[in-house]
Amino acid sequence: MNKSEFHANPTTGLTTSREWLRLLAPYREPNHVRSFGELFLTGAVFVALWVAAWLAFSISYWLTLAISVLAAGTLVRLFMIQHDCGHGAFFRRRAINDWVGRVIGVLTLTPYKVWRHSHSTHHATSSNLCKRGVGDISTLTVREYQALSGPRRLAYRLYRSPLVIFGIGPAFQFLLRNRLPQEFRREALTNWVSAMGTNLTIFIVAGVMIYAVGAGPFLLVHLPIILLASSVGVWLFYVQHQFEDTYWSENQAWSLQDAAFQGSSHYALPQPLRWFTANIGVHHVHHLQSRIPYYRLPQVLRDFPELAEVRRMNLRQSFACVRLRLWDEGRSKLVTFAKAHEQD
């Protein structure tokens, strides 16, 4: 299939990815009853699981950790609601989206305004080789990697190692890096207000929780939830764009529609995991129409089953993505370090 085209259902007469923008536009309308229901249910489940993990602390810490896994999954779902709010997709009014996003940002340790800015940049530049570096996972081309000195190659290898990218990196991002914006320009003042406001609220909420349950129990319950949720979140983001037949292009040939359909995967997860991840696996549709609420994405696939096969990847297949580290411009594929060395 030509990378500039996506052949749609023949009965629709649509052949290019650009035309899908018009076709998917009606799905952008949120249902406020559904949105508030999703928000309330997810928040209630998270609180219930957190309390259950704390109560289990006096029985067995292993039981606490087991419950924390479910709580972490629910926190990922809350982050996805924050994500939809950032796109203006969860509610019709921007003010409601923003305030819900800010409140959830206290739980996810993510200053809403700062994240919304970097994530909108990601959507506007995803798969563009000339605009890497904001809101994405750093990816070098084979040629760029081969031009590096030995120490810099080692640094890149360490960065792309599973331990760093799915373990140390997420912990650093959510616990430390999110505490301060990375910009110091005058117009970035609102980002600093967002970050400091989020930090202050986190401090107050954490202080109340420590007063209520004690510092030790609070940290032993909440820290595993945060660490696991952050790692899962980075894993999801990784497999949505870092797969073998993904799409990267230079400025002149790059298009938003091709980046959506060719550079974003359909991560077809089992039903329980789709609930915890709020259908973010339907990522190609999300990148094409980011204003579609997550609970309407399955409806899109039901109405247009041909979309379900675009860049489809199941859970087992996704683990192979971990070994892919470099973009091979000649073969238009992500490749392993070993494949890159073949060209040295």
pLDDT tens per residue across span 15-25 = 466 688 889 99
For residue 286, give the nearest of 20, 13, 65 by alpha carbon.
20
Of 260, 245, 262, 258, which is closest to residue 321 (Cα–Cα)? 245
Distance of CA 84 to the CA centre of its chain: 11
Query: What's the per-residue H, E or C state across the chain?
Result: CCCCCCCCCCCCCCCCHHHHHHHHHHHHCCCHHHHHHHHHHHHHHHHHHHHHHHHHCCCCHHHHHHHHHHHHHHHHHHHHHHHHHHCCCCCCCHHHHHHHHHHHHHHHCCCHHHHHHHHHHHHHHCCEHHHCCCCCCCCEEHHHHHCCCHHHHHHHHHHCCHHHHHHHHHHHHHHHHHHCCCCCCHHHHHHHHHHHHHHHHHHHHHHHHHHHHCHHHHHHHHHHHHHHHHHHHHHHHHHHHCCCCCCCECCCCCCHHHHHHHHCCEEECCHHHHHHCCCCCEHHHHHHCCCCCHHHHHHHHHHCHHHHHCCEEEHHHHHHHHHCCEEECCCCEEECHHHHHCCC
Q: What is the pLDDT of residue 21?
A: 83
Tell me the HSE value of 238 on the side-chain side, using a 13 A CA sphere: 23
Tell me the pLDDT of the chain averaged across its residues. Answer: 90
158 band by pLDDT with thresholds 50, 70 and 90: very high
In this structure, the dihedral spanned by the alpha carbons of residues 335, 336, 339 and 340, taken in order and rounded to 10 degrees, is 80
pLDDT of residue 10: 34
In this prediction the pTM is 0.91
Average pLDDT over residues 261-276: 94
The dihedral formed by the CA atoms of 168, 170, 174 and 178, expressed in degrees to the nearest 10: 90
Give the model's pLDDT for residue 134.
81
pLDDT > 90? residue 191: no
Q: How far apart are CA 190 and CA 314, in angstroms?
A: 40
* Structure confidence by residue, pLDDT tens digits, 316-333: 999 999 999 999 998 999
**What integer is the mean pLDDT of 153-173?**
95
Q: Could you give the CA distance from residue 125 to residue 122 in angstroms, rounded to a whole number? A: 5
**Greater pLDDT, 314 or 191:** 314
What pLDDT does 261 receive? 85
Considering only residues 123 and 343, tell me which one the structure prediction assigns the higher pLDDT: 123
Q: CB neighbours (10 Å) of residue 173?
A: 15
Kindly report, residue by residue over 207-254, the tens digit of the pLDDT: 999 999 999 999 999 999 999 999 999 999 999 999 999 999 887 888
pLDDT surpassing 70 at residue 198: yes
Nearest-angstrom CA–CA distance, 80 and 91:
14
What pLDDT band is residue 60 in, cutting at 50, 70 and 90? very high
Is residue 275 over pLDDT 80?
A: yes
Instruction: Kindly list the domain boundaries of the chain, sorted by start residue.
Output: 17-341
Label the pairing between strands 333-335 and 326-328: antiparallel
Q: How far apart are CA 12 and CA 5, in angstroms?
A: 15
- Mean pLDDT for 259-265 is 90
Residue 181 burial (10 A CB sphere; 0-12, 13-18, 19+): buried
pLDDT in tens, 140-154: 999 999 999 999 999
Identify the CA nearest to 115 among candidates 72, 75, 82, 157.
82
Which among 80, 94, 104, 22 is positioned nearest to 294, based on CA atoms?
80
- Number of other residues whose CB lies within 10 A of the CB of residue 212: 10
